[in-house]
């Protein structure tokens, strides 16, 4: 529950609707009286009542600005009608619980509410969606909403582990059970005992190991490699997949019994391009994540925000994160301009392969990558980035201007 002061609600009548639509239920209260539990939003005239973690809003004919919260002070944000949409997204990002994924679409908020309800049970959950849609964030949210929240949360990407080691990594092993096993290994199931285990890219587990995984889920016990007696484990499993697991079962690459054991409660995440209101909310969350503490947070202009909203986002949230970080590095002024929203060409799977057409173009692409890497390593500080590149700051400014012009 988010507290919204009566004065803040009256000054900006659309704010309560945005917060409620994002699943952040509002309670209107009078400043100076009993405030609701949790974070609260105050009007600028009520700043003296705000505590650390709260948000003070100056809505009106003001220059868009945001200073993120510090340990000893609330966040302060100001914006007018033209920047209201992104201002609301920033407020929502500031007051939402840290474990709750950012969203702006009522449909996305409904999915989060559904996930919170099913988290109360110990049923296995299968989170489905394209790569980059936020499956691991959903798994963390389910863990945080569950009775196991105080227990461990352990995540493993099954596709990133060698097949020969996957069984030992999941179930553990005894000392000397195979070459190189100089000591006993606990295994991820036992490490997650009392908590939640996320099995990401579950479709990549080889068929022989799928049978052992099924037994671990059904019997709530694991047999470490080299052991003769199984060990009981108390683990809630959340599995993620970006492939169609039903199609994998039909093709014989995934066991049907394991599929049905995992698919007790499915949660389907839509592509970001189909969640337009989420684009603003997630972009706001990324800005807050990447701007250093205490530094002003730049607002995107209306044109820059429209450019974000118009893109189809084949890379989903990961692509959006890259674009936001790039905009922060390329930004020349106090706002993020439309020409600073640099979006890469579609990858080969979505269209013809991109290749430089000349040595000059290849050189420009390589130079742009070097500049972005130097700025990232220097934390966005242009003088230090120029020193790393062996050029003057003036030359770096020219190069950045050329990059913005080429992206327009």
pLDDT tens for each residue of 96-128: 999 999 999 999 999 999 999 999 998 899 999
Which residues face 55 on adjacent strands? 41, 75
pLDDT in tens, 34-75: 888 889 999 999 999 999 999 999 999 889 999 877 778 899
Q: How many residues does the chain have?
A: 408
On whether the CB atoms of residues 321 and 346 are closer than 8 A, the answer is no
Q: What is the pLDDT of residue 350?
A: 45
Q: Check residue 65 and report its DSSP letter.
A: E
The answer regarding whether domain 2-103+275-340 maps to CATH 1.10.8.60 reads yes
pLDDT at 355: 55
Query: What residue segments make up the domains of the chain, in order of their start?
Result: 2-103+275-340, 106-268, 355-407
**243 in Cβ contact with 103 (< 8 Å):** no
The predicted pLDDT at position 349 comes to: 44
Residue labelled with tokens 């949230």: 317
Q: How many angstroms separate the CA atoms of 57 and 109, rounded? A: 24
The reported pLDDT for the residue numbered 328 is: 93
Q: Any idea what DSSP says for residue 353?
A: P
Give every residue of the chain whose pLDDT is below 70, as ranges.
176-183, 346-364, 366, 376-380, 404-408
Which pLDDT score is estimated for 401?
72
Which single residue is written with the structure tokens 């996930």?
Answer: 115
DSSP string covering 284-337: HHHHHHHSPTTSBPPPBPHHHHHHHHH---TTHHHHHHHHHHHHHHH--SSSB-
Distance of alpha carbon 169 from alpha carbon 176, whole angstroms: 15
Q: Compute the distance between CA of residue 153 and CA of residue 161 in angstroms, rounded to an integer.
A: 19
Q: Quick one: pLDDT at residue 379?
A: 63
Q: Which residues contact 235 (CB under 8 A, 6 or more apart)?
A: 189, 192, 193, 194, 195, 196, 197, 220
CA dihedral 43, 45, 49, 53 (to 10 degrees): 40
Class for the domain spanning 106-268? alpha beta
Structure tokens at 371: 């500049």
DSSP-H helix ranges across 133-272: 135-145, 163-171, 188-191, 207-219, 245-250, 256-262
């Amino acid at each position: 529950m988010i507290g919204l002061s009566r004065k803040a609600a009256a000054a900006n009548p659309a704010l309560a609707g945005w917060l409620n639509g994002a699943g952040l239920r509002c309670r209107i209260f009078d400043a100076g009286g009993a405030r609701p539990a949790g974070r609260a939003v105050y009007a600028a005239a009520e700043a003296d009542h705000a505590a650390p973690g709260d948000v003070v809003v100056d809505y009106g004919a003001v220059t868009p600005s945001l200073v993120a919260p510090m340990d000893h002070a609330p966040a302060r944000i100001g914006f007018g009608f033209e920047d209201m949409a992104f201002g609301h997204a920033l407020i929502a990002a500031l007051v939402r619980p840290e474990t709750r994924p950012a969203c702006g679409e009522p449909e996305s908020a409904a999915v989060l509410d559904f996930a919170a309800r099913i988290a109360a049970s110990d049923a296995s959950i299968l989170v489905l969606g394209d790569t980059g849609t936020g499956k691991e964030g959903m798994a963390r949210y389910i863990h945080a909403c569950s009775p196991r929240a105080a227990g461990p949360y352990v995540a493993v990407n099954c596709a990133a582990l060698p097949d020969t080691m996957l069984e030992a990594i999941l179930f553990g092993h005894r000392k000397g059970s195979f070459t190189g096993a100089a000591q006993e290994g606990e295994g991820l199931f036992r490490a997650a005992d009392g908590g939640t285990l996320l099995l990401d890219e579950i479709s990549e587990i080889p068929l022989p190991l799928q049978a052992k995984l099924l037994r671990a889920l059904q019997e709530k016990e694991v047999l470490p490699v080299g052991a003769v007696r199984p060990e009981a484990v108390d683990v809630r499993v959340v599995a993620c997949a970006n492939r169609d697991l039903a199609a994998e079962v039909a093709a014989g690459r995934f066991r049907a019994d394991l599929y049905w054991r995992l698919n007790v409660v499915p949660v389907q995440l839509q592509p970001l391009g189909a969640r337009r209101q989420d684009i603003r909310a997630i972009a706001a969350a990324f800005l807050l994540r990447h701007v250093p503490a205490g530094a002003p947070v730049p607002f995107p202009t209306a044109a820059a925000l429209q450019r974000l909203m118009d893109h189809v986002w084949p890379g989903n949230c990961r692509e959006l994160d890259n674009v936001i970080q790039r905009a922060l590095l390329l930004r020349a002024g106090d706002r993020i301009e439309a020409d600073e929203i640099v979006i890469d060409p579609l990858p080969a799977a979505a269209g013809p392969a991109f290749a430089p057409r000349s040595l000059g173009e290849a050189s420009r692409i390589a130079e742009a990558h070097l500049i972005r890497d130097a700025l990232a390593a220097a934390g966005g500080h242009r003088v230090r980035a120029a020193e790393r590149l062996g050029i003057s700051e003036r030359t770096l400014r020219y190069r950045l201007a050329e990059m913005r012009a080429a992206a327009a």
